[in-house]
């Protein structure tokens, strides 16, 4: 088992599911491909996960469940997602129980825990409408007040698990005058309402996750009792947005699972296929592409783990911490998958061969993640609105706020630091200017300078890390200066330049997350991670878009990362800063790689 306890659940689940390349394993590539071809709902796999008690990890400990930390949560969702996004995304609608843990009454929480545990219950989130996707305030579904409750009228579409779920979490209009307080949330238990009051819409044909129950739900004068309302009347938008903070971060686990399978499948191909008398892996361009995919996954790892831990350490920053994860990780992984597809050539397009044609399924399934729970554009727009305040706050940091920040950084990034329980009631719609990760960059830079006397750190690598981290800081300062001297307007007509600024901020944030992760876990994670060469390459790659600098990274660094990639593959471990042991069909000794000589580029 891994030394970090928060990864034990993921490892145990991984072991019990078995090696997905073996047809007899649960959720094997063969079986998930067959289900996908038939566009069939993965009923047996979902039931297997309930029997494994995975649903307990969606229920907080205080309500009889096992949900302790979102870092642990992200790790096991990643394990599921590397096998099959259809099942993972289907099972993970249990995310939405988070709304009840956040705002439900004691009775509502107890009832939901019972529903999930005893009935193997699941829910769907019914926000979206045909005429209103991201515009929640524009919702047309009505909840009209009547004695004892409400009458629901209208249609929600397209909704994942709208048909095959016992509870629909419905966002509906309770006030015709409109505005931010015109919506309320209802946790509608279908078993407790008149079946004549609702109907489900047909399954929608989709490009990916084809077995999903992507459908809709329609209400016709459907009476729902008052006790099904979540929070106060008018709290719907506020809760809805805070619920997104949670799920946006968790979506990254879908992407990371996809990325692992995409890389593993292509690496296997590259090691096995011979061209011009050598393996594809031994040809510089594909080798570099594979190495860069691995490095991009490591960056996404740092961003995701920091975001998941942030819920426990800095829940007040949920509005921005979730954006950094949700914007950065799915878009980065989409690019990783696209880059890897080039190595497969025409084979990336085949629905057979190379682990049952799983790669093309990853391409199709993965493409929806960046749209979930607030698209890339929605997230960037929300960040644009907060950038000025973050720059202001950063300029006003002082000794007192700095010390608190230092302590939060350590709790957030040191993977050995125990996480306090997540106080969901402290989630906030805006961050009041706080963003610990970038605002604490000087703390880690100071730490890097301090390592100059540490014999365990390679002096050359350290100097590069200092140079690159200083560059990140300079870019951040420049962006803050620019924001300070720019005008600002509200509304939906934000300029393309503003979106670019927000993207840049997210990129700088990712770089800072990697630096902190290294500073706080060098000794904990050791080995390849501690050496820091990967970090230097990652920082250089992240800065490349606005600070192109060639020649700073020696080719030996790249080669050492290539060797680590091969080692993880050989030992059947997750491509991650926390390389979990994956399910083994055979011992590592039985696996042999095509010999891959060190090819140093002069």
Partner 1 sequence: MQLQNSSSKPSEDLSKNHLQDDNMIVENSPAEAIQTWLVTKLSKQLSLNAKTIDVREPLTRYGLDSIDAVTLVGDLEDWLGCELPSTLLWDYPTIEKSAEYLVKEFDVSAAVSPVASSNVKDAGSDKTEKVEASSKSSGWGGLWNRISGS
Binding site for partner 1 (CB under 8 A): 137, 178-181, 237-238, 382, 384-386, 388-389, 391-392, 394-402, 428-430, 432-433, 442-443, 445-446, 449, 470, 473-474, 476-477, 480-481, 484-492, 494-495, 497-498
CB of 99 to partner 1, least distance (A): 17
CB of 202 to partner 1, least distance (A): 33
CB of 507 to partner 1, least distance (A): 18
Q: Cβ neighbours of residue 43 under 8 Å, at least 6 residues apart?
A: none
Shorter beta-carbon distance to partner 1: residue 94 or 387: 387
Q: Cβ neighbours of residue 410 under 8 Å, at least 6 residues apart?
A: 417, 520
Query: Closest Cα partner for 420 from 60, 3, 10?
Result: 60
Shorter beta-carbon distance to partner 1: residue 207 or 478: 478
Three-state DSSP state, 71 = helix
Q: Cβ neighbours of residue 398 under 8 Å, at least 6 residues apart?
A: none
Shorter beta-carbon distance to partner 1: residue 195 or 487: 487
> Cα angle vertex 300, ends 588, 530, to 5°?
60
If residue 255 lies in a helix (H) or strand (E), which one and from where to where?
Answer: helix 236-272
Longest CA–CA separation in the chain, Å: 80
CB of 399 to partner 1, least distance (A): 4
Shorter beta-carbon distance to partner 1: residue 121 or 433: 433
Place of tokens 């190495």: 291
Alpha-carbon span 306 to 252, nearest angstrom: 12
Shorter beta-carbon distance to partner 1: residue 273 or 447: 447
CB of 480 to partner 1, least distance (A): 5
Whether residue 201 is preceded by a cis peptide bond, meaning omega within 30 degrees of 0, is: no
Alpha-carbon span 258 to 81, nearest angstrom: 6
CB of 433 to partner 1, least distance (A): 7
* Token reading at 576: 């991650």
Shorter beta-carbon distance to partner 1: residue 263 or 476: 476
Shorter beta-carbon distance to partner 1: residue 232 or 555: 232
Strand pairing class (167-173; 123-126): parallel
CB of 100 to partner 1, least distance (A): 20
Alpha-carbon span 269 to 281, nearest angstrom: 9
Shorter beta-carbon distance to partner 1: residue 487 or 551: 487
Alpha-carbon span 228 to 187, nearest angstrom: 5
Query: Closest Cα partner for 549 from 561, 541, 557, 558?
Result: 541
* Token reading at 205: 């044909």
Q: Cβ neighbours of residue 175 under 8 Å, at least 6 residues apart?
A: 181, 182, 183, 233, 234
CB of 436 to partner 1, least distance (A): 15
Do residues 542 and 534 make contact, with C-beta atoms less than 8 angstroms apart? no
Place of tokens 């399978």: 261
Shorter beta-carbon distance to partner 1: residue 352 or 477: 477
Distances (CA, A) of 57 to 45, 65, 393, 477, 521: 17, 6, 36, 41, 26
Shorter beta-carbon distance to partner 1: residue 210 or 242: 242
Do residues 441 and 409 make contact, with C-beta atoms less than 8 angstroms apart? no
CB of 240 to partner 1, least distance (A): 11
CB of 353 to partner 1, least distance (A): 47
CB of 315 to partner 1, least distance (A): 13
Shorter beta-carbon distance to partner 1: residue 395 or 600: 395
């Amino acid at each position: 088992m891994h030394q970090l306890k928060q990864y034990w659940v993921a490892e145990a689940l991984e072991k019990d599911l078995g090696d997905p390349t073996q047809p007899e394993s649960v959720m094997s590539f063969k079986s998930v491909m067959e289900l996908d071809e038939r566009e069939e709902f993965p009923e047996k796999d979902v039931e297997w996960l309930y029997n494994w008690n995975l649903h307990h990890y969606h229920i907080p400990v205080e309500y009889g469940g096992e949900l302790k930390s979102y870092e642990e949560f992200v790790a096991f969702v990643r394990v599921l997602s590397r096998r099959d996004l259809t099942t993972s995304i289907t099972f993970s609608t249990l995310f939405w129980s988070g709304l009840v843990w956040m705002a439900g009454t004691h009775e509502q929480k107890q009832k939901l825990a019972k529903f999930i545990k005893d009935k193997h219950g699941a829910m769907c989130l019914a926000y979206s409408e045909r005429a209103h996707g991201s515009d929640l305030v524009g919702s047309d579904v009505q909840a009209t007040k009547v004695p004892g409750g409400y009458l629901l009228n209208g249609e929600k579409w397209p909704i994942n698990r709208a048909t095959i779920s016992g509870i629909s979490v419905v966002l509906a209009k309770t006030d015709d005058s409109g505005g931010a307080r015109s919506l309320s949330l209802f946790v509608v238990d279908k078993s407790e309402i008149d079946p004549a009051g609702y109907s489900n819409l047909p399954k929608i044909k989709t490009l990916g996750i084809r077995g999903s129950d992507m459908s809709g739900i329609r209400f016709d004068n459907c009476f729902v009792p008052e006790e099904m309302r979540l929070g106060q009347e008018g709290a719907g938008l506020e809760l809805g947005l805070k619920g997104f903070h949670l799920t946006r971060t968790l979506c990254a686990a879908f992407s990371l699972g996809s990325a692992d399978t995409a890389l593993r499948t292509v690496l296997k191909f590259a090691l096995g296929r011979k061209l011009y008398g050598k393996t594809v892996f031994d040809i510089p361009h594909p080798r570099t592409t594979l190495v860069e995919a691995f490095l991009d996954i490591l960056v996404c790892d740092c961003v995701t783990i920091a975001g998941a831990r942030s819920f426990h350490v800095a829940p007040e920053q949920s509005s921005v911490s979730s954006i950094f994860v949700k914007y950065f990780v799915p878009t980065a992984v989409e690019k990783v998958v696209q880059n890897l597809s080039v190595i497969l050539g025409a084979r990336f397009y085949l629905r057979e061969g190379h682990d049952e044609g799983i790669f093309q399924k990853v391409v199709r399934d993965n493409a929806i993640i960046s749209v979930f729970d607030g698209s890339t554009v929605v997230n960037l727009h929300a960040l644009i609105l907060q950038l000025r305040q973050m720059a202001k706050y950063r300029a006003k940091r002082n000794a007192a706020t700095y010390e608190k920040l230092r302590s939060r950084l350590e709790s957030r990034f040191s993977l050995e630091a125990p996480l306090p329980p997540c106080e969901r009631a402290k989630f906030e719609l805006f961050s009041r200017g706080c963003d610990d990760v970038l605002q604490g960059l000087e703390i880690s830079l100071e730490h890097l300078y301090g390592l100059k006397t540490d014999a365990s750190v390679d002096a050359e690598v350290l100097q590069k890390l200092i140079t690159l981290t200083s560059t990140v800081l300079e870019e951040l300062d420049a962006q803050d200066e620019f924001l300070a001297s720019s005008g600002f307007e509200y509304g939906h007509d934000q300029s393309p330049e503003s979106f670019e600024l927000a993207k840049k901020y997210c990129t700088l944030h990712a770089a800072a997350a990697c630096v902190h992760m290294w500073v706080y876990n060098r000794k904990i994670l050791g080995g390849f991670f501690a050496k820091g060469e990967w970090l230097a390459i990652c920082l250089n790659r992240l800065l490349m878009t606005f600070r192109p600098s060639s020649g700073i990274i020696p080719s030996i660094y790249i080669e050492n990362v290539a060797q680590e990639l091969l080692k993880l593959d050989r030992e059947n471990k997750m491509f991650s800063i926390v390389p979990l042991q994956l399910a083994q069909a055979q011992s590592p000794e039985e696996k042999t790689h095509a010999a891959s000589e060190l090819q140093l580029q002069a």
